[in-house]
Amino acid sequence: ETQIASILKSSELYPIPQSVKLSYGTAGFRADASLLESTVYRVGILSSLRSLKLKSSTVGLMITASHNKVSDNGVKVSDPSGGMLSQEWEPFADQIANASSPQELVSLIKDFVEREEIAIEKGGEVWLGRDTRPSGERLLRAAEIGVRSVLGSVAVDVGVLTTPQLHWMVRAKNKGLNATESDYFENLVTSFKCLIDLIPINKLEISTLVLDGANGVGGQKMEVLRGYLSNLDVEIRNTGRDGGVLNEGVGADFVQKEKVVPLGFGVKDVGMRCASFDGDADRLVYFYIPSESCGDKVELLDGDKILSLFALFIKEQLNIIGDEGKQCRLGVVQTAYANGASTDYVKEMGLEVVFAKTGVKHLHEKAEEFDVGIYFEANGHGTILFSEYFLSWLVGKQKDYSEGSDKHNAVSRLVAVSNLINQAVGDALSGLLLVEVILQHMGWSVQKWNELYKDLPSRQVKVEVPDRTAVVTTSEETEALKPLGIQDAINAEIKKYQHGRAFIRPSGTEDVVRVYAEASTQEDADSLANSVAQLVK
Ligand code: NG1
Ligand code: ZN
């Protein structure tokens, strides 16, 4: 009874705003920050319950709207494994976020607690992180109150972090490992150095990488990390300290979707190796400005190209290990947004490719089925997962092979990759370090890397519609089932173009319908995207 009173009392502080219907979506709740306090408070309650359900394991709660505009914010939950909140709990998240009164909220919670057999005796533990958005602090307070309104539960404010840092820390904590932010950095530094030391001959002078920090948390963390690293020369722009606005004309989402340089980059950077993070540093893309450009157009190396580089490197190590290495099931997971040329490339390498719905939770799940599963969204969110079984096999081999032999080195490289790359979730910082060390290993420039395959020209546009839920797609999102007849019309457009491919889907994070088109020339891709967009309007 005191428990019920506690939630009733605190929820009076956070009345739900009129006329918003929120949905947990592709990546948690997102909206204009001014609408979110009651939602974040309620997700605080949910996080405590999630922790209690899982024997008081630590759960993470992240306040961020990633690549969206600075006035937006959002909230998402990290499960104790460091992965996304179990999808089974999403309907409950939707229900409580939209409960219209404290009484309704309490009754939903009561039913759920009973159904899930959650014992509110011990306390739960929730770690709270946020990105650099100005609304973050206020929302974090609301989350704390939500967490603590479940009696006995503790809220730990772990401060301003990238999303992947929080996921990593939660995962480490629950594995009984050292789990502070400095442990995170130390882990990156150690495994990066290990991979550098295993480079056969240093073929390349280390050239400067220029990083666009999206005016967010990632650039600031990179400044810290850079201080501990040798063998990496990085110049960081758009740190948010020089007056720039988060994600405005900068960042991975902007560069990938618009294919133009972020603010602060131009002719002076022609040919340089450049990279962009998104607002919470879980996305990474590379680019360079080609010499024939007037300093605005970029040659983009997106998530697909990063995936291809990782796949190539891992495959090379497995080949060195020989017959036993070839038994490793190395697989790739992509979405419908993957450039067709990248899929062909990894297939030609002999890898298995599977497709998942948009949203990393879907990709992550499928990647877990492999010994080594590499997943990436074209937008630059991805990572590499190593199965426990395969990792212990590797560690065993490290003892079998004689130190300094080629096989020993290959095995050690794979172990180091598994430590460097964030096993919880896609992480721009760790991804960047892996790209950098592989390029040094190969002795490649960014241009050389780009030549792995040539992207089919593509175009993405978004269409604002009164009701995006009117669009319903098949499970892999490549075909629209509703509105009736629209897929036939799309197919008719596709037929007009060589290598044409196009699909539509409702966004899970914005109130829009997204259109994607690919064709053999940029003009055709643009025109296909536009005519499909017309059909949606
Ligand atoms: P939506 O809005 O559902 O398309 C976007 C990205 C996803 C994922 C989420 C989470 C595209 C086309 N979609 O989802 O891949 O990253 O945001 O941030 O880039
Ligand atoms: Zn993000």
196-296 CATH, one of 3.40.50.300, 3.40.1020.10, 3.40.50.2300, 3.40.120.10: 3.40.120.10
Burial of 413: CB neighbours in 10 Å, binned 0-12, 13-18, 19+: buried
Give pLDDT tens digits for 134-146. 999 999 999 999 9
ipTM above 0.90, yes or no: yes
Say if residue 120 is exposed, middle or buried (CB neighbours under 10 Å; 0-12, 13-18, 19+): middle
CA distance 27 to 153: 25
Q: How buried is residue 244: exposed, middle or buried, by Cβ count under 10 Å (0-12/13-18/19+)?
A: buried
CATH 3.40.120.10 is held by the domain 2-160: yes
- What pLDDT score was predicted for residue 1? 67
Distance 297 CA to ligand 2 centre (A): 23
Residues in the chain with pLDDT values less than 70: 1, 19, 202-204
Residue 192 CB less than 6 A away from ligand 1 = no
Domain parsing of the chain, residue ranges: 2-160, 196-296, 304-431+445-450, 458-536
| pLDDT at position 250 | 98
C-alpha span between 326 and 207 (Å, rounded):
34
Q: Residue 214 CA: which ligand is closest? A: 2
CATH topology for 458-536?
A: TATA-Binding Protein (3.30.310)
3 state SS of 118: coil
DSSP string, 165-226: HHHHHHHHHHTTS--SHHHHHHHHHHHHHHHHHT-SS--SPPPPEEEE-TTSHHHHHHHHHH
Q: Which atom of ligand 1 lies closest to the CA of 505?
A: 4
**Distance between Cα 505 and ligand 1 center (Å):** 11
β-bridge mates for residue 352, sequence order: 331
List Cβ neighbours of 445 (8 Å cut-off, separation of 6 or more).
Answer: 204, 207, 273, 439
> For residue 457, how far is its CA from the centre of ligand 1 (angstroms)?
20
pTM: 0.95
The bound ligand whose nearest atom lies closest to the alpha carbon of 514 is 1
Of ligand 1's listed atoms, the one at least distance from the Cα of 335 is 15
Q: Do domains 2-160 and 304-431+445-450 have the same CATH topology?
A: yes
Mutate to test the pocket of ligand 1, among 473, 476, 509 (most ligand atoms within 8 A of CB): 509
Question: Catalytic amino acids?
Answer: 66
Q: What is the pLDDT of residues 336-374, one digit of tens each?
A: 999 999 999 999 999 999 999 999 999 999 999 999 999
Cis peptide preceding 483, ω within 30 of 0: yes
Which of the listed residues 375, 377, 468, 518 should we mutate to test ligand 1's pocket, taking the one with most ligand atoms within 8 A of CB? Answer: 377
Q: Atom of ligand 1 at shortest distance to CA of 378? A: 19
In terms of CATH, what superfamily is 304-431+445-450? Alpha-D-Glucose-1,6-Bisphosphate, subunit A, domain 3 (3.40.120.10)
Rounded Cα distance between 365 and 373, Å, is: 10
pLDDT at res. 120: 86
pLDDT digits (tens, 9 = 90+) for 262-302: 999 999 999 999 999 999 999 999 999 998 777 789 999 99
How many angstroms separate the Cα of 48 from the Cα of each of 52, 86, 119, 147, 419? 6, 14, 11, 5, 29
Q: What is the mean pLDDT of the chain?
A: 95
Three-point CA angle 119, 124, 125, nearest 5°: 165
> Tell me, what's the pLDDT at 294?
76
pLDDT recorded at residue 421: 98
What residues pair up with 372 in beta bridges, in sequence order? Answer: 330, 386
Q: What angle do the packed helices 340-348 and 303-321 form, to 10 degrees?
A: 0
